[in-house]
Structure 1
Amino acid sequence: MSDLRTTPLRDLHVELGGKMVPFAGYEMPVQFPLGVMKEHLHTRAKAGLFDVSHMGQVIVFSNQGYRAAALAMETLVPVNLADLGKNRQRYGFFTNEKGGIEDDLMLANRGDHMFVVVNAACKEGDVAHMRENLADCSVEEITDRALLALQGPSAEAVMSGIVSETADMKFMDVGMFDSDFGELWISRSGYTGEDGFEISVANDQAVAFAKALLAHEDVEPIGLGARDSLRLEGGLCLYGNDIDANTSPVEAALTWAIQKVRRRGGEREGGFPGADRILDELENGAGRTRVGLRPDGRAPMREGTELYAAAEGGEVIGKITSGAFGPTIQGPMSMGYVPSDLAAEGTRLFGEVRGKRQPVSVAAMPFTPANFKR
C-alpha cells in the first residue's frame, strides 16, 4: 500500500472507517461501516458520496476557440463534439486503428475550452495520446483538484444547498460556480444510473467540501464495491472488463454515442481511428454483441464465466465480463458478449460455474431504470 498514490480525501476515508484497498494505482475505500449492500441501497434511496479523485481531469485548449479544439478531438473519437452546446457534456471513447476502444471518457464544452475526464488506469496514456495527436492544442492535466460524485435522488436538494444554481441543471449540463469552497466545476452526471453530480474542487478545499456534503442527513460515504454494483445495475460499462482495445463500439452496444454526423453520409463522416471497421459494423452489424444476462437462482455469474448455447456439449460461444448480485433487483445480474444471433432478449444460454452449466437468460439493460434529470 505504501507504493500507492492517495487522493486528498484519503485520511477522511480512514477516519470514517473506510476499508482501504489498491485500485488503479491508488489507495481507495472499497466500503465503509455501512457495508456494500446498504451503501448501494442508500444511494438508490437518498444520496451517496463517492471519491473519484483518481480519475484524470484534462483541459484541452485551442487559440482558435472551442470548435477548433473539438474538431481536433474528433480525429480521435467518433463523437460529434463540434456541435456540442456550450455548458454541455457528452460520453465518448478513444478508438484505435483496429476499431477497438482505448478508453471511454466524458467531454464537455466549457465555452472557450474542452474539459475531459478519463479513467484512472488509462489517464497517463490518454494524456500522452492527446498531446501527441492534438498538435495545435494545449493539453493540460489538472493535478491540483479532487473529484467527488454525489449520486442519488437527494443529490439535487443537497447540492443546491451549497450552489443554488445546480437545481436548474439538467442531465449532462456542466458549469463553473463560486462557492464557500472556492470555484466548483460541476456536471450533472454520474456512474450509478441515478441523478447526481460530479464536482471538481481544489485539493485544499476537498475535505471541507466533503464534510459539508456528509453533514446532510441523507448523505453517506460510498466505496468502490457499491459503485461497481450500482453501475452494473445501470448497465454501464467498466473499462478493462466490458470494453477494451479489442472491442468495437458496435460490439459493445455503444452505437448511441456515435452521432449521425460522424456516420456514413454524415457531414463529418469517419476521420477517426478504426473508422473503416466501425462504420462497416454500424451498417452491417457485428458478429458479437454486449448483452445483459440474468442467471437463474441467486448466485451471480462473475467475470470470466464461459457461456454455452446448450446444457451439454458444444463450444464456448461467449463470456461474462461483469457480474454481481444486484441489491435493488434482489437477484444476480451480469453482462457479457454473445453471438449477435443469440442476443435477443429471453434467449436461454448456460454459464459454466465450478464445472457445472447453469441456465442464464439474455435480459434488457439497464437492470434498474435510470433516474437522470432530463
Structure 2
Amino acid sequence: MGADENNNTENLKSLPLEDLHKAANARFGGFAGWSMPITYPLGVMKEHLHTRELAGLFDISHMQLFDVSGAGAAALLSRACPLDAASLPVGQSKYTFFLDEKAGILDDLIVTRLGEDRFMVVANAGNAAADEAHLRAVAKGYDCRIDALDRVFLAIQGPEAADVLHTAGLAGTELPFMNGFEPRPGWFMSRSGYTGEDGFEIGLPEADARELVTTLLADERVEWVGLAARDSLRLEAGLCLHGHDITPEIDPVDAGLTWAIPKPVREKAGFIGAKALLDKITKGPTRKRVGLKPDSRQPVRSDSILVDINGNAVGVVTSGGFGPSAGFPVAMGYIGKDFAPIGSHVFAEVRGNRIALHVHSLPFTPHRYHKG
C-alpha cells in the first residue's frame, strides 16, 4: 500500500477516475500493476502535512473489495484467517491476515461484518488476484459466495475528515474507528485508514464517486493526496506495507502483530498456519520489527543492510524515508532481538557508507483514531 514507484506506465491498469487526477495535474507512476497518482502540485511534504492538519483525499481504487456471503461465510473466513468471524458484531471491522502453512503473511486485510452472513474483505492491490484465488480455493466445501466488487475506493483522512463528510451530508460520521456499514445500495464505508489519523474509506459506484469527489473538493479543507505522501504517513504511523515490512517470509510473531490474533482463536487453532504460528509463539521471535531513526538527516531506504559496530549483519531496513510531521528521517526494519531494545545503536550500509541509527519506538507520530 505504499509508494514503490515505477515511472513506466505502459501496460498498467488505469483508475476509473484517472481523468480527474489528470485534470488535477497529478504526476503518475506505476504501483502494483496500476498507474497511480504519486503527487499533485501541492507536493509530497505539503500533501502529508495537509492530511495531518485538515483532510487529505486519496484514490485507493487499486485495492480490491470482496463481498463474502452465505451460511458458510463466517466459517470460511475463520479458516482462511486467524479470526473468529462468527463472533464479530455486525458493523465491526478487524485487521487480520491470510497466512500460509508456515504462518508467512500472504496479505494483510480488513474484514468487516455487514450482516449475519455477509462480510466485506479489503485486500491489497498487489495481492488482489492471488488473494481471490486463495480465498476461492479455501472456499471449496463451504456454503458461500465470493464476489470481487468493481468499485471506486476513496479514503479521506485527517482531523477534519469526519466534519467534512458530515457537511457533505454523508451518514456514518458517528461510527467508532474500525467499524463499517453500507450507507447506500452499492456503497461500503468504514472508519479506518492507513495514515494514523482519523478517517474513512468509501467504496462506491463510479458515477456516485464522481459526484462525491466534486462535493468533497469544494470544501477548502480537502486536497488530493498521492501515493508518495500516503507512504510517508503510514511509515510515521508505524503501519506495515505488504511486500516490504510483511511478506510470506515474515510471520506475525517477528512482525509484532500477534495482537491481531485473539487468544481464543489461537487456542482453537482452526486457521491455516495455526501449528506453525503457535510453534513460533512458543519459541519467541528471533528478530523483531522496530522503528529506526538515523542520527543524521540522511534517510535510509528499504533493503539497506543493518550492521553492528564490527560490521556484522544484524538486520535489514524494510521501509524508509523522511517523516514530514516527525521532522526527521524515519525507517522500519527487522533486527536481531539482542539489538531490538529502544535506543540500541546500529549502522545502515548505504552506497559504501555507514549511516548511524538507533532503535526508536513506534509509531513515530501518535495515532489519532476516533474511539467513539
Could you say which TM-score interval applies, normalised by the shorter chain? over 0.9
Question: Alignment RMSD, CA only?
Answer: 1.2
> What is the CA–CA distance in structure 2 between the aligned matches of 1:205 and 1:3, rounded to whole Å?
27
Deviations 1:9-38 (A, max 9, x none): 100000001001111111110000000000
Q: Say yes or no: does 1:175 pair with 2:181.
A: yes
Question: How far is 1:288 from its partner?
Answer: 0.8
Paired residue type of 1:57 = L
Partner amino acid, structure 1, of 2:53: A
Residue of structure 1 aligned with 2:255, choices 248, 252, 257: 252
- Identity value in percent: 44
Does residue 29 of structure 1 match 2:26?
A: no
Q: Secondary structure of 1:168's match?
A: coil
1:204 CA drift (Å): 2.1
C-alpha offsets along residues 309-359 of structure 1, whole Å, 9 cap, x if unaligned?
21xx34211000000100001100100000122211111111112212221
Q: CA separation in 2, counterparts of 1:167 and 1:114?
A: 21
Alignment partner of 2:334 out of 334, 337, 344: 337
Q: Which amino acid aligns with 2:39?
A: Q
Question: Residue 155 of structure 2 is aligned with which of 149, 152, 157?
Answer: 149
Match of 2:322 in 1: 325
Q: Using a 3 Å threshold, how does the CA distance of structure 1 residues 283 and 163 change in structure 2: closer, same or farther?
A: farther
1:280-332 Cα deviation digits (max 9, x unpaired): 2223311111111111111111101110121xx34211000000100001100
Displacement after TM superposition at 1:157 (Å): 0.4
Name structure 1 gaps, 5 residues minimum. none
Matched residue, 1:300: 299
SS, match of residue 21 in structure 1:
strand
Gaps of 5+ in 2: 1-8
**TM-score, normalization by structure 1:** 0.94
- 1:124 equivalent to 2:168? Answer no
| 1:10 and 2:18 are equivalent in the alignment | yes
Q: Is the 8 A contact 2:152 2:203 kept in 1?
A: yes
Which residue of structure 2 aligns with residue 102 of structure 1? 106
| Match of residue 140 from structure 1 | 147
- Please give the alpha-carbon distance, in whole angstroms, between the structure 1 residues aligned to 2:212 and 2:324: 29
SS in 1 for 2:277: helix
> Offset at 1:207?
1.7
Contact 1:8 1:206 in 2 (8 A): no
Instruction: Count residues with an aligned counterpart.
Output: 360
For the 8 Å contact 1:289–1:339, the answer to whether it is kept is yes
Q: CA deviation at 1:101?
A: 0.4
Counterpart amino acid of residue 296 in structure 1: D
Give the 4+ runs in structure 1 shifted more than 4 A.
Answer: none
Match of residue 114 from structure 1: 119
> Counterparts of 1:1-374 in structure 2 under 5 Å?
1-62=9-70, 64=71, 68-111=72-115, 112-135=117-140, 136=142, 137-143=144-150, 145-178=151-184, 183-263=186-266, 266=267, 269-310=268-309, 313-374=310-371
Contact 1:253/1:289 (8 A) holds in 2: yes
Residues 250-298 of structure 1: per-residue CA shift (max 9 Å, x gap) = 11111110111112xx3xx212222222112223311111111111111
Which deviations, in whole Å up to 9, do the C-alpha atoms of 1:105-141 show, x marking residues without a partner? 1101001301001001100111111111112221110
What displacement does 1:2 show?
4.1
Say if 2:73 and 2:145, in contact at 8 Å, map to a contact too: no
